[in-house]
């Protein structure tokens, strides 16, 4: 009888041990995935994680090394876990260098799964991340794409859906994935706060109070972000985007138009993309009949480390919402723009922004 009792106790202990080591098939890791690495077999322990695509993925229990799959993932993840990066999806722009720690700026470039589609599998394997993380709106092929990449390189991959509307939940899910729930909650609440503030500002402005605005980009300023396009999401939210076209381009380069069309739209305000023609437009006689140019209501979107209005379209859009609402509707927005910019740069770039840096960022971007 005593032998049977001992045998039963041993079986119970074994069952408990297996449950702890293997995790459970739930919508999140059953333990933080980036707890401090231990010794021995604990380093190889895994937990099960269900990503936004519904894939149940076995991931390391102790995550310390990650790689972003693309530029959107890079920005989102950098705010939460820059110390876990073993590589970048794309090289930081020169404008980013003064805001980032050198150890992050000089990481190896791995390429992108989507977008430029130049992901270097050999380089990815060389830096040996424990996990590849994709963040953004899911493609119709997302399950096959994630499974295929994981099979090719032998590294777990997860997709976390992210939109302007749901970024708070994106960060909460990433916090659970990486064992940084407290830090993720701060970022989640920030994104929800700025979105709510923007909605409240626009409610005060009202539909009739929206500025007639045009976003121009390209070497000659003759490309526009069309109303209803993916990249014009924030513009459409905070203004009357006058760029109404038949065939809307989904590309970041926008729709090509001519000056005659811009004159027909005749916007009250124009914002130029960084590195477009902002610096020369005031002396260009061909543009002087455009109302926004004639009245001096044209501005350059701040750049550093990224375009504030969403190139790539990621969490930089929240900084863009603050800037553009303060620019167009100062009475309703009533932001202290330096204070808000410093707050954003601290949260998302881990940078203590100086007043001199702020003034350089917005030199061409606020009231003329």
**Homologous superfamily of 46-194 in CATH?**
Nitrogenase molybdenum iron protein domain (3.40.50.1980)
> Are the C-beta atoms of residues 164 and 317 closer than 8 Å to each other?
yes
Q: Which residues contact 333 (CB under 8 A, 6 or more apart)?
A: 201, 322, 325, 326
- Asked if the model's pLDDT at residue 14 lies above 60, the reply is no
Which of the four pLDDT bands, split at 50, 70 and 90, describes residue 94?
confident
- Asked if the model's pLDDT at residue 202 lies above 90, the reply is yes
Read off the pLDDT of residues 301-355 as tens digits, 9 standing for 90 and up. Answer: 999 999 999 888 899 999 999 999 999 999 999 999 999 999 999 999 999 999 9
Write down the pLDDT at residue 37. Answer: 41
Q: Is 166 helix (H, G, I), strand (E, B) or coil?
A: coil
* DSSP 8-state secondary structure symbol assigned to residue 34: B
- Asked if the model's pLDDT at residue 244 lies above 60, the reply is yes
Distance CA 68, CA 172 (A): 17
Q: Report domain extents, the chain.
A: 46-194, 206-362
Write the CA distances from 81 to 77, 187, 345, integer angstroms. Answer: 6, 12, 15
Segment among 205-219, 289-303, 304-318 with least mean pLDDT? 304-318
Write down the pLDDT at residue 44. Answer: 81
Segment among 11-25, 67-81, 138-152, 239-253 with least mean pLDDT? 11-25
- Burial classification of residue 313, based on how many CB atoms lie within 10 Å of its CB (0-12 exposed, 13-18 middle, 19 or more buried): buried
Write down the pLDDT at residue 323. Answer: 98
Q: How many C-beta atoms lie closer than 10 Å to residue 280's C-beta?
A: 10
Same fold, 46-194 and 206-362: yes
Write down the pLDDT at residue 320. Answer: 97
Write down the pLDDT at residue 275. Answer: 87
> Are the C-beta atoms of residues 303 and 297 closer than 8 Å to each other?
no
Q: What is the pTM of this model?
A: 0.86
Mean predicted lDDT score pLDDT of the chain: 89
Which of the four pLDDT bands, split at 50, 70 and 90, describes residue 117?
confident
Write down the pLDDT at residue 8. Answer: 39
> What is the CATH class of 206-362?
alpha beta
Write down the pLDDT at residue 196. Answer: 98
Average pLDDT estimate for 43-48? 87
Read off the pLDDT of residues 18-32 as tens digits, 9 standing for 90 and up. Answer: 333 332 333 333 333
Percent of the chain whose predicted confidence (pLDDT) is above 70: 88
Write down the pLDDT at residue 368. Answer: 59
Q: Is 276 helix (H, G, I), strand (E, B) or coil?
A: coil
Average pLDDT estimate for 237-261? 95
Percent of the chain whose predicted confidence (pLDDT) is above 90: 81
């Amino acid at each position: 009888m005593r032998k049977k009792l001992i045998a039963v106790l041993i079986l119970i202990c074994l069952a408990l041990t297996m449950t702890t080591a293997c995790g459970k098939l739930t919508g999140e890791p059953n333990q933080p995935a980036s707890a401090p690495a231990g010794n021995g077999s604990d380093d190889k322990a895994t937990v099960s994680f269900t990503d936004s695509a519904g894939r149940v993925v076995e991931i390391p229990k102790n995550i310390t090394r990650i790689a972003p799959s693309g530029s959107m993932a890079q920005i989102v993840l950098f705010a939460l876990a820059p110390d876990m990066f073993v590589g970048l999806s794309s090289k930081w722009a020169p404008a980013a260098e003064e805001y980032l720690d050198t150890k992050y700026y000089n990481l190896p470039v791995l390429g992108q799964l989507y977008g430029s589609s130049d992901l270097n599998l050999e380089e990815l394997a060389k830096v040996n991340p424990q996990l590849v993380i994709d963040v953004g709106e899911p493609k119709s092929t997302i399950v096959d794409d994630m499974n295929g990449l994981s099979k090719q390189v032998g590294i777990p991959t997860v997709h976390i859906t992210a939109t302007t509307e749901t970024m708070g939940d994106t960060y909460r899910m990433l916090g659970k994935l990486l064992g940084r729930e407290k830090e993720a909650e701060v970022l989640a609440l920030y994104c929800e706060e700025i979105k709510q503030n923007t909605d409240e500002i626009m409610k005060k402005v009202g539909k009739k109070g929206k500025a007639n605005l045009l976003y121009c980009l390209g070497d000659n300023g003759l490309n526009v972000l069309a109303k209803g396009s993916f990249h014009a999401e924030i513009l459409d939210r905070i203004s009357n985007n006058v760029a109404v076209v038949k065939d809307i381009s989904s590309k970041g380069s926008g729709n090509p138009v001519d000056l005659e069309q811009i004159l027909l739209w005749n916007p009250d305000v124009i914002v130029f993309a960084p590195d477009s023609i902002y610096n020369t437009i005031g002396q260009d006689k061909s543009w002087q009949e455009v109302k926004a140019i004639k009245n001096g209501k044209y501005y350059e979107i701040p750049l550093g480390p990224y375009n504030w209005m969403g190139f790539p379209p990621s969490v930089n859009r929240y900084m863009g919402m603050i800037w553009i609402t303060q620019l167009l509707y100062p009475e309703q927005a009533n932001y202290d723009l330096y204070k808000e910019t410093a707050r954003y740069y601290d949260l998302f770039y881990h940078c203590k922004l100086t007043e001199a840096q702020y003034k350089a960022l917005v030199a061409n971007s606020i009231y003329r």
